[in-house]
Amino acid sequence: MSIQRRDFLKALGAAGFGTVAALPGCATTGGGAGGKVVVIGGGYGGATAAKYIRMWSDGGVDVTVVEPSPEFISCPLSNLVIGGSKQIGDVTVSYDNLPKRHGVKILRDTATSVDPEKRTVKLASGQELAYDRLILSPGIDFMWDKVPSLNNADAQGKILHAWKAGAQTVALRNQLVAMPDGGVYAISIPVAPYRCPPGPYERACQVAWYFKRAKPKSKVLILDGNGDVTSKGPLFKKAWAEEYKGIVEYRPNHVLTDVDVATRTAKFEVQDSVKADVLNILPPQRAGAIARSAGVVTANDRWCDVDFLTFESVKVKNVHILGDAIQIATGMPKSGHMANQHAKVCAAAVIALLSGQAPNPTPVLSNTCYSFITDREVVHVCSVHQYDKEKKTLLPVAGAGGVSPAANELEGGYAFSWAQNIWADTLA
């Protein structure tokens, strides 16, 4: 937009002709927003925010993404790689379209510190980036101090989490392939909240699917730190009782205290220790470390409280946080789908704020999460979240949302279609 036009629009607004943004030509764009946005993290939250800020500002806002990984590897669907019905390449997507189609700048680097006063980010390479608005989508870090024997790289290479898709996903698959028939795979689940509530139970199903076909004398043990299955409980329990009868055993109230790496033994607060042939530990989690540097970790020393109109930190100005790193609102899962939805509310708000306008006062989020019971049968959970002006938070709409009546193949098809569309919506 030319300066003359901007001034003209201001004058028009001041003259009382209604909101300037309601004018045609601005109605589907950012209304001439400019400025510099730095996004840390190119996952479901960060990549979506970068794309939508460029798209909705008509390229007016300069966006740089800092992401160390050369490619995007999806956590959703990665349990199918562990079960063996998909390969890691099937859940890997290039970052190329973000610069090519949207003019997003991508730096393959790691953010090491944030100075919110000077509004700068330092990178591992030594480069410094200035921002008008900073978007942190750092995902999770593991709290290794809660599993002391795993607090070193050597142990972490033997007892895997595979809770960040990539090399660990492939390594866990390899451990299962190498395990002799008659062995035990055990998965330890931390007390909620953690990334992807139904994910551990889906993983148990996928490992059982593999065992049922390739290693029928083997067992899957679910050692849950929670008192019950945290998501889609009746649907998963039905699968374990029927499809995977005699393979899967569920044990609640198993709060992990440590492991013995050499003997692959999990130790618990109250319950007896469990030795496994393949031990899969999901440690307790918190917002990625860069959030700490930015000073936005405000909840329980773990998560970041945000203003749900903008996803701006409640504590640090001009810093927005998306995805698994935030202190969730009631009924809001830490999911990739949700991170993508956070990102769009944030993108619209950042463009508005950079243009000196108020953010949308009525944001809405939806969530749809598919879990694979077999290689093609799926169950879903979904919800819609509307902003409550009085409570100043996003709340699930009562009477909306729900789960599948039973696992089914129709939704298996929808789940693969969902993956294609959300990967494109985030990255293409």
- Residue closer to another protein by CB (options 268, 416) is 416
**Euclidean distance between CA atoms 418 and 385, whole angstroms:** 19
Q: CB count, 10 Å around CB of 272?
A: 9
Q: Which is nearer to another protein, 134 or 365 (CB)?
A: 365
- Shortest gap between Cβ of 417 and another protein (angstroms)? 3
What share of residues in the chain are helix, strand, coil (percent, to 5)? 30, 25, 40
In the bound state with another protein, the residue whose beta carbon lies nearer, of 23 and 170, is 23
Smallest distance, another protein to C-beta of residue 211, A: 29
Rounded to an integer, what is the distance from CA 145 to the centroid of its chain? 22
Residue ranges that bind another protein, judged by CB under 8 A: 1-2, 4-5, 8-9, 12, 17-19, 21-28, 52, 55-56, 337, 340-341, 344-345, 348, 358, 360-366, 368, 380, 382-386, 396-397, 399-402, 404, 408, 410-411, 413-414, 416-422, 424-425, 428
Between CA 385 and CA 166 the distance in angstroms is 31
* Number of CB atoms found within 10 A of residue 253's CB: 14
CB 82, min distance to another protein, A: 23
Distances (CA, A) of 61 to 34, 47, 356: 5, 15, 14
Q: 3-class SS at 95?
A: coil
**What does the DSSP 8-state code read for residue 337?**
H
Cα–Cα distance between 346 and 133 in angstroms, integer? 11
Q: At closest approach, how far in Å is the CB of 44 from another protein?
A: 9
CB of residue 19 to another protein, shortest distance in Å: 6
Query: Of 83 and 412, which has the nearer Cβ to another protein?
Result: 412
- Cα gap 190→367, rounded to integer Å: 22
123 Cβ contact partners less than 8 Å away, ≥ 6 residues apart: 66, 107, 109, 110, 111, 112, 129
Residue closer to another protein, measured from CB, 192 or 382: 382
Helices (H), 179-319: 199-214, 233-241, 289-294
Nearer to another protein, 223 or 422 (CB): 422
Cβ-based nearer residue to another protein, 341 or 374: 341
Nearer of residues 293 and 426 to another protein, judged by Cβ: 426
Q: Which amino acid makes up residue 427?
A: L
Supply the minimum distance, in Å, between the C-beta of residue 106 and another protein. 19
**Cβ distance to another protein smaller for residue 280 or 404:** 404
**Residue 287: CB minimum distance to another protein, A:** 23
CB 319 within 8 A of CB 312: yes
- For the bound state, the minimum distance from the C-beta of residue 421 to another protein, rounded and expressed in Å, comes to 5
- Shortest Å, Cβ 88 to another protein: 20
Cα 42 from Cα 204, distance rounded (Å): 28
What's the rounded Cα separation, in Å, for the pair 21 and 31? 6
Q: How many CA atoms lie within 13 A of 368 on its CB side?
A: 11
Based on CB atoms, which residue is closest to another protein, 129 or 419? Answer: 419
> Can you say how many angstroms the Cα of residue 268 is from the centroid of all Cα atoms in its chain?
28
Q: Which residue has the tokens 């294609």?
A: 420
Per the listing, tokens 């989508």 go with 137
Smallest gap, in angstroms, from Cβ of residue 285 to another protein?
Answer: 23
Which tokens hold the place of 260? 């013995």
- Tell me the C-alpha distance between 146 and 328, whole Å: 22
Query: What per-residue string of b and e applies to 174-185 under the rule 16 or more CB within 10 Å gives b?
Result: ebbeebeeebbb
